[in-house]
Amino acid sequence: MKPERWKDPANKLFPYQVGFTAPPHDFDAAPTDFLKIAPEGVGVHGRMLHVPGYAHELDQRVDNLDLLAEFVECMANNGADICGQVGTNWVHAGGKTPDDIKAFLDRVSDKYETPLHMAGYCLVEALRELGIEKIALNSVYYWPDWRDGIARFLRDAGFDLVYAGNFVDLGFYATQEEVNALTWIFPGELAEASCSRAAELGAGAQAIVVNGMPNFRRADGLPQRIVSLDAGIEAKLGVPIISSDTALYWRIFKTLGVAPTGRHGQLLSSLQGA
């Protein structure tokens, strides 16, 4: 069980304490991005999953799902109020359904008295919160089996998926090998261009979903994720842009009962007006 001392606010470093974990072997932007938009009084702590020989394979997610429970146990022992798992693939690997993931989340959260939110499942929760039924999936850098897995997961959640395609499908790169060589960092203009192309190919979609953790270089070379870009893209396309990271941050803020600071797209802005 969670140590009793953390129930006394006087023992905590921050009024709101958030733990993050990301896929092994990735120095991840999520804790930094989250903290940039968090209100004063929110603290962030990170813990990597240790998977020797990790190669971003789906079966490695399946084999190591229990490490997410270990992550929550460690964070609970350290006084975290809530835990967030970055990356979309963990929810659909091995054919898991939204119901499977919801049961896992409930079990782990209850056992360690600390809510766990997984980015892939947060996409489902965010779309439902906004009342969105018809979606197009911008699967960015995802390998074909990853793309197909998250597409199936979203359909299993009840959404009408009118289009699903990665950067190769969208026509921005000739091969998946070209995409992989860029190590998840892409030209800045590709963020808006890929969402626009997905909207065109998914005519009638009420939102564009962006899975994974793509980074886009701004003019000075600094990589940014969709959370820094979604408001501008939404203004041009006229539909919500729901990315995995944005959905995860939204769910964490919602659970904590606080709102982000700054200007954001429709999803995070919904908390600012609450």
pLDDT per position as a tens digit, 166-206: 999 999 999 999 999 999 999 999 999 999 999 999 999 99
User: Please, are residues 256 and 132 in contact by the beta-carbon 8 Å criterion?
Assistant: no
Cβ burial 189-226 (10 Å sphere, 16+ → b, else e): ebbbbbbbbbbebbeebbbbbbbbbbbbbeeeeeebbb
Least confident of 18-32, 84-98, 186-200: 18-32
Determine the pLDDT at residue 274.
55
Cα–Cα distance between 14 and 269 in angstroms, integer? 24
Domains of the chain: 4-123+246-272 (3.40.50.12500), 129-243 (3.40.50.12500)
